[in-house]
Amino acid sequence: MKPYYEDSAVTLYHGDFRDHMDTLTAAKADAIVTDPPYGETSLDWDVWPIGWLADAAAIADNLWCFGSFRMFHERAAEFATWKLAQDTVWEKHNGSGFHNDRFKRVHEFAVQWYRGEWGGLYNDPPKTADAMRKTVRRKERPTHMGEIAGTNYESTDGGDRIMRSVIKLRSMHGKAINETEKPVQLVSQYITCSVPIGGLVVDLFAGSASTGVAARQLGRKALLFEKRESQCEAAARRLERETSQPFDLGAIA
């Protein structure tokens, strides 16, 4: 089947990703970085695709999946064939309140799952030059943590430090082309640590193609799928427009 959009780094197919399983399994992706329909809103496309995690397991052994705690909790049985590696939090500047008698939710999770041996996966631990020193550096490691092998958690060399698991970034509110668009800078964190330069990332629920834009900027390749033609059209326009744009550093102050 002909891609909807293609350049030297990004290929976008229109349609349900499950109709492209031959292409997906042949591609030998390093990781899936994706943002499925959580099934929590009244949007017509927001329907959890039952069984997609089994399909994902045939595509890659490394999966970063966006979601809410409610989503991961309700779908726990479907994640059972995956092992949990870590959870991160995206803290947004605004939020969506589903209930007016509970906390306003201003965060989402991005959770990493894997199959097989952790040591067999590509993993470039996420580093940052601006981790908060007071929080990251300790004279003594707390005893309950045991050994943290191979990290520079306590680095005193002034170099990069392991990133904190809460990532504060402005949401795409006001400029998004997908109703639940993820910032390129956010998606980039997950691609960087799980996909080597020149490697391939797959996004099964591509929306606005943030994963494609990020992968291309990072020197990786991306294979994307999006069911709605209107989204494919908007994503293709974006991919053409943003070929040489630098990151939008919209971090929350």
Ligand X SMILES: C[S@@+](CC[C@H](N)C(=O)[O-])C[C@H]1O[C@@H](n2cnc3c(N)ncnc32)[C@H](O)[C@@H]1O
Nearer to ligand X among residue 30 and residue 226 (C-beta): 226
Is 217 a binding residue for ligand X by CB under 6 A? The answer is no
Of residues 50 through 89, those in contact with ligand X by CB under 6 A are none
The CB-of-40 to ligand X minimum distance in angstroms stands at 10
The CB-of-204 to ligand X minimum distance in angstroms stands at 6
Nearer to ligand X among residue 109 and residue 153 (C-beta): 109
Nearer to ligand X among residue 45 and residue 153 (C-beta): 45
Single out the residue of 93, 127, 168, 228 in contact with ligand X (rule: CB under 6 A): 228
* 8 Å CB contact between 123 and 193: yes
Of residues 175 through 214, those in contact with ligand X by CB under 6 A are 178, 180-182, 204-205, 207-208, 210
Single out the residue of 9, 24, 30, 35 in contact with ligand X (rule: CB under 6 A): 35
Nearer to ligand X among residue 180 and residue 189 (C-beta): 180
Nearer to ligand X among residue 17 and residue 82 (C-beta): 17
Stretches 23-31, 56-64, 194-202, 220-228: which one binds ligand X (CB under 6 A)? 220-228
HSE-CB of 217 using CA atoms within 13 angstroms: 23
Report the interface residues with ligand X, using CB under 6 A: 16-17, 35, 37, 45, 49, 178, 180-182, 204-205, 207-208, 210, 225-228, 231
